[in-house]
Structure 1
Amino acid sequence: MASTATEHKLLLDGEWIESGDWVEVASPYDGSPIARVAKVGASEAKAAIDAAERAMQNPLPAHERAEILSRVADALAARADEAARLISAEAGKPMKAARVEAARAVSTYTMSAVEARKLAGEVVPMDASQAGVGKLAFTQRVPIGVVGAISPFNFPLNLVAHKIAPALAAGCAVVLKPATQTPLSALFLAELELEAGLPPGWLNVLVGPSAEIGDVLVDDPRVALITFTGSGAVGWKLRERAPRKRVNLELGNATPVIVEPDADVSLAAAKCAANAFSYAGQSCISVQRVLVHEDVYEEFRNAFVPLVDALVVGDPADEETDVGPLITLSERERVLEWIEEARAGGATILTGGTVENDLIRPTVVEGAPADAKLACDEVFGPVCTLQRYTTLDEAVELANATRYGLQAGIFTGNVARALGAASRLEFGGVTINEAPTFRADQMPYGGVKDSGNTREGPRWAVHEMTEERLVVVQL
C-alpha cells in the first residue's frame, strides 16, 4: 500500500498506470494535501471495458471467486487499522466511525464469498402441466456482463466493497469509478484484490471527471449493469440515459424516527443522538426528522439535547472525536444556509447552528416549517429536527411526507403498533426500537420513491448482477 503522502496510480487490466495528470486529494478537516492520484478520462474508460470484456471470456469458477473474496476479507481484517486511518484521512470520518466501516467491509467480502459458493438456479416442475410431461427443466444464474460501478465519498471503503465483491461473486468483471474526493480506499481495496490472486481485467479502478468516465460507462453497450450510489439528481439521469441497461440506484433519504408515548425515551434519545450526527450526518440514513408524541416530547427533548451537546467535535484523527468536518467548505455553507432558512421561517435552534473551529456544531432544530429544506429534503449534515405529533396516524403521515423512502424507525413498547406502523411506512426498511441508521451488510438495503430502485446486500446484489437462464431437456 502506497503512503497517503505519495502519488497513486490507477488499476487497468492488472497494471498500475499513470497519466501525467493528477487529482489532488486533500483533508476535509484542514485542507492539507494527503495524496495525488492519477487522473484519466474517456479513452482509459474504454480500455478498461475492453479489459473487463476480455477477462470475462475466461470465466472464473465459483470456488475460485469465493477463495479470492475470502482472501481479501482476511487481508482487510489484518490491515483494518490501516484501512480505518485511510478512510479518516481522505473522508474526514472520525476514527470511531472509520473503524466500524473497515470492519463492515470485511463482513461484506465474507458474505459475498458465501454467495459465490451457493449461486444456483432451481428445478422447474415441468410435469405440473401436460405440455411439460417428459421434460426436465432447471434455471441457472449467469453473469449479466461487465459492471460499471460509481461509488460516493461518504463510505469510501464499504460502499466500494458493496459493488466490487457481489459483482465478482456473480462472475462479473468491474470498472469502478470512485468519488474523486475519496479514491484512496478504493485503490487500497484494488491492491488487496490483486494480492489475493484476482486475474487482470476483473477489476479496473479509474479516477477522473464523471462527465468522461461516467458517460463511457453509461453509453458503451458492453456495460450491462450500472450500480450507482449518490445523489438522486445524478442517479435518475443515469437511469433515463440508459433505458436498455440495468441501472441500480441507491440514493438519499430524509430519515424519520417516530417516538411513541410508551417508548423507552432514554433509549430513543441516546440512539437518535448518536445516529443523527455520526460522520457529521453524511449518511443517507442519518437520523434527520425526529417525530415525538406530545405526551413525551418534553421528556425526550430534555434527554436528547444534552446528549447532543456532549458529542465531541474536532479532528477526525482523534480517537475521542464524534463529529468531524463536512466533505467540502461548500457543503458546510449549504447546510448553514438551510439552518438559517428554517430559523427565518420561525424555527427554534435548540443547540448548535454555529461554526466552531471551522466545523458545524451538532444542531437540533425545533418547529421547522413543513416546506423548509430541513423538513423535506436530505440535509446530509449534522442537523436534525424535532416535531410533536398527537396520534400515530399523524406521525406515519408526517414520516411519509417526503419524496424519499429509504429507511425509517419507530420506538415503542407495543409490538402490534410497531408492526402496524411498519406496514404503513413507505420505506424500503423499518427499524423497531433501533435507529434507522442501522445496517448489517448481509441484509437487503434499498429504498422506494426517490431513494432508489434496487436492494443491496451481497445476496440481493448478486441476484441483480446475474440473469436467469432456463434449460429444458427432453427425456
Structure 2
Amino acid sequence: MTTITSTSQRLRAADQVQDQAPSGPARLGEFGCLIGGREIHTGEINEVRSPFDRSLVALVHRARPREIERAIADADAAFRVTRALPSWKRAEILEAVSAGIAARREDLAQTIALEAGKPIKTARIEVDRAAFTFKIAAEETKRIVGEIVALDWLPGLEGREAYVRRVPLGPVAGITPFNFPLNLVSHKVAPALASGDPIIVRPATQTPVSALKLGRILVEAGWPREAVAVVPSSTNDATPLVEDERIKLLSFTGSPAVGWDLKRRAGRKRITLELGGNAAVIVHHDADVAYAAERIVWGGFAYSGQTCISVQRIYAHETVYDALVKEVLERVRRLKTGDPL
C-alpha cells in the first residue's frame, strides 16, 4: 500500500482576500446574548466577519462573567420547571422548533453562508438537517422509558421486582464549533429539551449568529425562557460553564486538545466529547479509480475540508497509485472558489 501525500492545501476563500475588511454596516445587524428570553446588550462587541471577503456580518455583544452567572442561575432554577414537563409537551415544543427552523430556512441559510462562508446550497442542507434533528428529538422524547428487573436471582427476593426510571439530569452546557453553526448547536439543544433539561450554549466566536437565531426560535416555540441561554463569550469568561457544579453535563464539539483539557477541568459532572476525526480512504487494486477520485476530492475539499469527516489520509494499492493521482489532480484543478452566496 502507498500513501498519497497532500497534493494541495485546503481551499480557504478567506486566504484570497486582504486582511483589512471592507467598511460598511453589519449585514445582519446587532445581536445581544440571549438570557431569560431577552437579548442582553453588554457593550462588549465582537465583530463577526465573513471568511470570504472579511466584510462585517454582525455585531454581537459578548457575555461577561455576570451574564454567565445569570445564565447558570436561571438554568438551575428553571430545572424545577423543565423536569416536570410531560413528554407530550416536550414533544410539542420540539415539533414547534422544527417548524420554526423550516419556516426560516432561507434566512438561516443566508446567515450560515455569511458568517461561516459555507456555500449557500450546503447551508440550506444544514438548515434542513437542523429541522430534522428537532423532529427526531420530538419522537424520541416519547420513548424515554425505564425497565422492570426481576430480582429473583438472589434467595429471598422471589416475587420482587426493581423499577428503573430515567429522569432529567439538570442544566446542560454546550460548547460548539464554527463549521456547522446551526446543526451542531441543534445536536446539543434538541436532546436537552427532549430529556427535560435546561441548556446553555456557548457558540464559536466566529459564528454566533445562527445559534442566537435558534435561541429566539426556542423561546417562540414555548420552551421556558429561563431554561435556554446563548452566551457568546471569551474562553476565560466561559470557564464556569465547564467548572461550575450547577452544570450537570458538558457537551463539547471541537479539537482533541481542547476537549481533553475540558474533561480534566470538568470535575465530577458528566461530559460528552465529539472531537476531530482522522478519516481515511482505502483504494483497492480492483476499485473504480475515477469514482474513488471523485469521492476523495469531494470528501477532502468540500467546505474547504472544514468538517470532522473530511478525507485526511489516502491509502492506494500500488497498481492504481499513478492513475489515482492523475484522476485526483485533474479534479482538484477544476475546483472553483468564490462568493458562497
Tell me if TM exceeds 0.5.
yes
Residue 120 in structure 1 maps to residue 137 in structure 2 = no
> In the alignment, does 2:159 pair up with 1:134?
yes
Is 1:23 aligned with 2:55? no
Structure 2: gaps spanning 5 or more residues: 1-25
CA contact (8 A) 1:148 1:176 kept: yes
Kindly provide the amino acid, as one letter, of the partner of residue 28 in structure 2.
A
Alignment pair present for 1:54 and 2:50: no
User: Distance in 2 between the 1:106 and 1:299 partners?
Assistant: 42
Give the secondary-structure state (helix, strand or coil) at the position aligned to 2:39: strand
CA shift digits 1:344-384 (9 cap, x unpaired): xxxxxxxxxxxxxxxxxxxxxxxxxxxxxxxxxxxxxxxxx
Map Cα deviations across residues 79-118 of structure 1 (whole Å, 9 max, x no partner).
2221111101001111122122111111211111111111
Q: Does 1:172 align with 2:225?
A: no
> 287, 292, 301: which is aligned to 1:268?
292
Post-superposition offset of 1:263? 2.1
Deviations 1:13-67 (A, max 9, x none): 1222111221111111111111101112211111111111111112221111111
- Which residue matches 1:226? 250
Alignment of 1:453-464 (within 5 A): none
Partner in structure 2 of residue 82 of structure 1: 107
Give the distance between the partners of 1:160 and 1:290, measured in 2 at CA.
31
What aligned pairs does 1:247-286 form with structure 2 within 5 A after superposition?
247-286=271-310
Match of 2:66 in 1: 43
Query: Retained in 1: the 8 A contact 2:93–2:223?
Result: yes
Letter paired with 1:148: A
Structure 1 unmatched ranges of 5 or more: 318-475
1:9 aligns with one of 9, 14, 32: 32
The answer for the alignment partner of 2:5 in structure 1 is: none
2:323 to 299, 307, 310: 299
How much does 1:4 deviate?
4.3
Q: Counting strand residues as a fraction of each chain, which structure ranks higher?
A: 1
Retained in 1: the 8 A contact 2:27–2:56?
no
Retained in 1: the 8 A contact 2:171–2:199?
yes
> Pairwise CA RMSD of aligned residues?
1.4
State the Cα distance separating 1:254 from its structure 2 match.
2.8
Q: 2:98 aligns with which of 73, 78, 84?
A: 73
1:160-188, Cα deviation, whole Å (9 max, x unpaired)? 00010111111110111001110000011
Counterpart Cα distance in 2 of 1:311 and 1:6: 33
1:410-447 per-residue CA deviation (whole Å, 9 max, x = no partner) reads xxxxxxxxxxxxxxxxxxxxxxxxxxxxxxxxxxxxxx
- Runs ≥4 in structure 1, deviation > 3 angstroms? none
CA distance in 1, matches of 2:299, 2:127: 18
Q: Name the % identity.
A: 45
| SS across alignment from 2:312 | strand
Specify the SS of the correspondent of 2:59: strand
Q: Residue by residue, what CA displacement relative to the aligned partner does 1:263-295 show, whole Å, maximum 9, x if unpaired?
A: 232222111111111111111111111111111
Q: 2:11 maps to what in 1?
A: none
Which secondary structure does the structure 2 equivalent of 1:211 belong to?
coil
Aligned length: 314
Higher relative contact order, chain-length normalized (CA < 8 Å, sep 6+): 2
In the aligned structure 1, how far is the partner of 2:151 from the partner of 2:288?
A: 54
Kindly provide the CA deviation profile for residues 130-163 of structure 1, in whole angstroms up to 9, marking residues without a partner as x: 3431222221111111101100111100000001
How far apart, CA to CA, are the structure 1 residues paired with 2:308 and 2:204?
Answer: 16
Distance 2:335 2:281 in 1: 20
